């Protein structure tokens, strides 16, 4: 099983958006049984809060629900549990490394580092632009899934079902 954790500052906008977009992509490819997908925050400010209404509204446009998701904080144990820890911006990565203690296994990346145009994903909490955030996250999730499929085909039977 491939374990993926998406991480942002509060776990109410970007990382849950990535979690549910990635789940949708994985499901559409028939690969759900091969993945454990979750999201978390680097801060505890929003712990227990539901997904931001802007994220819920944007994902609903694509028939994607975030029902039941509540913000949680990344823990040091998450570093060992997950294969991929994906932050939305460089600041997230610094905080993720601080929480994990370091990154000796090179598991920590920005989501868009897997795309043809590596960059940060702006926080719609501040920008108000959930459309741009969605487009960036979709680009990153599609590139990540292709990377994982390619990488894991070498070692297992991960393929479209």
Tell me which residues are annotated as active site: 8, 14, 123
Tally of CB atoms within 10 A around 70 = 14
Distances (CA, A) of 57 to 6, 11, 63, 64: 19, 16, 10, 9
Q: Which two tokens stand for residue 61?
A: 């446009």
Q: Which of 87, 83, 101, 80 has the alpha carbon at shortest distance from 42?
A: 87
* Under 8 Å between Cβ of 6 and 38: yes
Q: Locate tokens 């894991």: which residue? A: 152
Q: Locate tokens 């079902």: which residue? A: 161
């Amino acid at each position: 099983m491939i374990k993926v954790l998406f991480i942002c500052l509060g776990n109410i906008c970007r990382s849950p958006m990535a979690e549910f977009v990635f789940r949708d992509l994985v499901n559409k490819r028939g690969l759900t049984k091969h993945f454990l997908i979750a999201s978390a925050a680097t801060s505890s400010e929003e712990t227990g809060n539901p997904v931001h209404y802007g994220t819920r509204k944007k994902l609903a446009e694509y028939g994607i629900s975030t029902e039941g998701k509540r913000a949680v904080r990344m823990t040091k144990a998450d570093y060992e549990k997950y294969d991929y820890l994906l932050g939305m911006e460089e600041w997230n990565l610094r905080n993720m490394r601080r929480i994990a203690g370091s990154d000796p296994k090179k598991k920590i990346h920005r989501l868009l580092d897997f795309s043809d145009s590596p960059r940060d994903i702006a926080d719609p909490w501040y920008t108000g632009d959930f459309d741009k955030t969605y487009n960036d996250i979709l680009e990153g999730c599609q590139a990540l899934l292709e990377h994982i499929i390619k990488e894991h085909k070498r070692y297992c039977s991960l393929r479209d079902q």
